[in-house]
Copies of this chain bind each other. A is one copy, B any other.
Amino acid sequence: LVDDMTTIPPSHRDLLERPLFGHLATIRPDGTAQSNPVWYLWDGTTLRFSFSTKQQKHRNVEANPSVALSIHDPDEPYRYLEIRGVIETVEPDPDGGTFFMELNARYNGPFGKSLYPADGAVYTMRPTATSKQG
């Protein structure tokens, strides 16, 4: 693992800060690839996601924590950032959805806390490498 404050290229950090849709590559238990759009929150060190532990993504990262997130700039689509890394922790979302509601607000999402599933969790990804274009 590396110091990701030096890993994330400053030229592309805005793609982590803006509420864009990332695409998360995971590896299924049978060793095949999966890709899904995701919400994310960057805190300067790690990326966090909110999934349900009933989703296939959960089974994937439990079997293999390797993931990669790519984000393209909708205003300049040949500009993108890819972050590869590992899911370090899967933890309950405090108070039945506090983190999920933080994401929901960041993305102007349509969800209310009363709909938050009991099986939701916070997935924390530590970056290990990046690539970029544009």
Contacts and interface: CB of A to CB of B under 8 A. Distances in A.
Give this chain's copy count: 2
A35 interface: yes
Contact of A34 (B37, B64, B68): B68
A90 interface: no
B25 A82 contact: no
A34 B24 CA distance: 9
24 contacts: A23-B23, A23-B25, A23-B35, A25-B26, A25-B68, A26-B33, A27-B27, A32-B84, A33-B33, A33-B66, A33-B68, A34-B68, A34-B82, A34-B84, A35-B68, A35-B70, A35-B82, A36-B70, A36-B82, A36-B131, A37-B70, A37-B72, A37-B77, A74-B74
